[in-house]
Amino acid sequence: MLERYLGSQDIFYVRIAHKMLMAVGIFLRKENFTRYQKLSDLCSKIAAKDFEMRVEVEDIQKILSLKKSNEECIKRSEQLKKKIKTWSQGLATSSISRLGFSLKDVESIPTKGRWWHVGSSYHPDKDQIYSSKTAKKGPDFQLDAQFEESAKVLGFETPFRQKLFQILVSTSGGPDATAATLLKACSTTTGSHGVRSAEHKEREMIQLVLHCLLSEHPFNQFYAR
């Protein structure tokens, strides 16, 4: 991805590469020096004719030259990896229940949307948008009073996110039972539109779980599982 974005010499993609390198730049030198050298060479070949491109290239070269970094995103990612490792201990995940997310989804911005790059909401394929007018609406979920304050602080405003949050913090039976209940809440059994709806819900579920993991400190009593 980084090689492709830098090789494009397009300011939009170079900026994306810049943001990505803020998180992974210091690891390239240690873990894949050949790839690191290739990225450095690509930067030197970029024709920085305008000021904005020169600034981006210079910043990228500085990031690639760093041996240590104080970037907050790197500290958070290290914390997140530890939390996920602890959370998933003993959790057997079959290939059927794994999320079908690949590099192709990241690259297909015109058809899949752009949430992976900028954190915006997921959009289904643009040529197959499901009209909300024909969707069958079920009754709104009512969050238990004991979880209302925490859900509000964490920013879970929609009924679906509140439902997932309540499942996450209240399901008994350990990680396996919690994971199964979360997946069940996201499942849809009707037609191709239903499949896309399920994928959308699964993405929301992953975002919510990661958000809770990163917010563990002020809500530690909920996330011991």
Kindly give the confidence (pLDDT) of every residue in the chain, 225 residues in length, as a single tens digit, with 9 standing for 90 and above.
788 888 888 888 888 888 888 777 777 777 777 887 888 888 887 866 678 888 888 888 888 887 776 666 666 667 777 777 777 676 655 554 455 556 666 666 666 554 444 333 444 444 444 444 444 444 567 888 888 888 888 888 888 889 999 998 888 888 888 888 888 888 854 444 455 577 788 888 888 888 887 776 655 555 544
- Distance separating alpha carbons of residues 215 and 142, to the nearest angstrom: 23
Cut 0.75: pTM above it: no
Could you count the other beta carbons within 10 Å of the beta carbon of residue 2? 20
- Distance separating alpha carbons of residues 196 and 194, to the nearest angstrom: 5
Q: Token pair for residue 75? A: 């500290």
Question: What residue type is assigned to position 32 of the chain?
Answer: N
| Nearest residue to 21 via CA among 71, 95, 55, 83 | 71
Question: What residue type is assigned to position 135 of the chain?
Answer: A
Could you count the other beta carbons within 10 Å of the beta carbon of residue 162? 22
